[in-house]
């Protein structure tokens, strides 16, 4: 799930978080969170997290 456009609403508690319902959630830090340009990948499954980490940091 990409929650980049609703991340600020989720952080404020006015929109339901997709994190408990999705294996992987992505968002940005610079859209509704108003931070520096960046991104986040959130995962609640250790095996999936290891695969994502290996794909992003292969070394």
pLDDT of residue 35: 84
- Residue 5 to residue 28: CA distance in whole angstroms: 8
Alpha-carbon span 53 to 35, nearest angstrom: 23
**C-alpha separations of 48 from 6, 16, 22, 28, 51 in Å:** 24, 23, 12, 20, 5
Residue 18's pLDDT is: 96
Domain ranges for the chain: 7-56
Say what the pLDDT of residue 12 is.
94
38 in helix, strand or coil?
A: coil
Q: What is the pLDDT of residues 8-37, one digit of tens each?
A: 999 999 999 999 999 999 999 988 888 899
What is the distance, to the nearest Å, from the Cα of residue 58 to the centroid of all Cα atoms in its chain? 20
């Amino acid at each position: 799930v990409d929650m980049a456009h609703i991340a600020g609403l989720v952080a404020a508690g006015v929109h339901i978080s997709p994190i408990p319902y999705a294996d992987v959630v992505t968002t940005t830090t610079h859209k509704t969170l108003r931070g520096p340009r960046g991104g986040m990948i959130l995962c609640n499954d250790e095996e999936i997290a290891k695969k994502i980490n290996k794909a992003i940091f292969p070394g």
